[in-house]
Amino acid sequence: MNYRHAFHAGNHGDVLKHVVLLGLCEALGHKPAPAFALDTHAGRGTYALDDAPAARTGEAQAGYAKLAAAGPPEPLLTRYLDAVAACRADLGAGAYPGSPWLLAHALRPQDRIACCELQPEEAAALKARFRGDPRVAVHYRDGYAAMRALLPPVVDGARFGRGLVLVDPPYEAQLAEFEVALRALREGLQRWPQGCFALWYPVKQRRVLLPFLRSAGNLPARSALVAELLVRADDSPLRMNGSGMLLLNVPYRFDAVLAPAIAALAIALGEPGAPAPRLEWLKEPG
């Protein structure tokens, strides 16, 4: 098992990422044409919050569990909480869905999903999880290289004009990962300009992220939106104080969908004195 992610499953970063992911899936469902989703760093598909690694850190207590207890009546957050409940109904009371499970849950029969995972045990678990779902292809390979190989998406001879790419690296390489991710996004956008691209990133000290955000605004996308949720002041390099999603080519008026959800998340998960959430265009849609 990839214990690194299992330790953190259901934390505030996962909540932000998974709420945004479900919002994007919902927007894709507004038109009947099939959509394609690529999950470049997929993980094992589902996690057990009552297993030793996750239970030991208790991070989900300050993330998913805190939100579930607050139960804010906001449509996108309700969608997320309902999805976790559906995962639990399927897999047991301690289960928590990873991004591949959420994609498979939220997308439709005509849509297709490709998931990449580089860690062999995680990839094997993911393959086993989706063996019975013909929409989902699991690739044991480097997710960044897959953006080159799998975009623009063609599945069984069919081309996809719509869809999303989730890039969710582990940031084991710390700041160097931002460079790699930006390079991959640039290449992905060149290969599939119609696609929506979503990169998750951790926030420790926000000022360290300024060069990354500057470069993100210069990517060859039609639009670039940033959604950040900080659960405490972003002044300590030692812990994850929050996280963000860089969203390129988002659906029309997606900022209006996200704004109330991020505001409600900040109220439910923020510690006293946490900065306000941030929803900001780096590049406004033309």
What residue type is assigned to position 262 of the chain? I
As a whole number of angstroms, the distance between CA 151 and CA 64 comes to: 33
Complex with ligand SAM: residue 209 or 223, whichever CB lies closer: 209
Give least dist CB 139 to ligand SAM, A. Answer: 9
Inter-residue long-range contacts of 50-59, CB under 8 Å, 24+ positions, other chains counted: 50/93, 50/94, 51/6, 51/94, 53/1, 53/3, 53/6, 53/7, 54/6, 54/7, 54/8, 54/9, 54/10, 54/96, 56/7, 57/7, 57/8, 59/7, 59/8, 59/9, 59/10, 59/11, 59/12
- Of the candidates 59, 74, 117, 255, which one interacts with ligand SAM according to CB under 6 A? 117
- Does 116 engage in binding with ligand SAM (CB under 6 A)? yes
Q: Which residues are bridge partners to 200 per DSSP?
A: 245
Give least dist CB 279 to ligand SAM, A. Answer: 21
- Of the candidates 68, 88, 124, 142, which one interacts with ligand SAM according to CB under 6 A? 142
- Of the candidates 122, 228, 234, 255, which one interacts with ligand SAM according to CB under 6 A? 122
- Does 168 engage in binding with ligand SAM (CB under 6 A)? yes
- Does 42 engage in binding with ligand SAM (CB under 6 A)? yes
As a whole number of angstroms, the distance between CA 113 and CA 136 comes to: 5
Q: Is 89 helix (H, G, I), strand (E, B) or coil?
A: helix
What residue type is assigned to position 9 of the chain? A
Instruction: Tell me which DSSP letter residue 205 carries.
Output: B
- Stretch binding ligand SAM (CB under 6 A), from 136-144, 207-215, 238-246, 270-278: 136-144
Of how many residues is the chain composed?
Answer: 286
Q: Which of 235, 232, 243, 227 has its CA nearest to residue 281?
A: 227
Q: Is 11 helix (H, G, I), strand (E, B) or coil?
A: coil
Complex with ligand SAM: residue 98 or 277, whichever CB lies closer: 98
- Does 11 engage in binding with ligand SAM (CB under 6 A)? no
- Does 59 engage in binding with ligand SAM (CB under 6 A)? no
Q: Can you read off the two tokens belonging to residue 280?
A: 């900001």
Q: Is 154 helix (H, G, I), strand (E, B) or coil?
A: strand
- Does 43 engage in binding with ligand SAM (CB under 6 A)? yes
- Does 177 engage in binding with ligand SAM (CB under 6 A)? no
- Of the candidates 10, 34, 53, 143, which one interacts with ligand SAM according to CB under 6 A? 143
- Does 212 engage in binding with ligand SAM (CB under 6 A)? no
- Stretch binding ligand SAM (CB under 6 A), from 139-147, 150-158, 202-210, 261-269: 139-147
Complex with ligand SAM: residue 40 or 249, whichever CB lies closer: 40
Give least dist CB 172 to ligand SAM, A. Answer: 7
**What does the binding site for ligand SAM look like in residue numbers (CB under 6 A)?**
2, 5, 17, 41-43, 98-99, 116-119, 122, 142-144, 168, 170
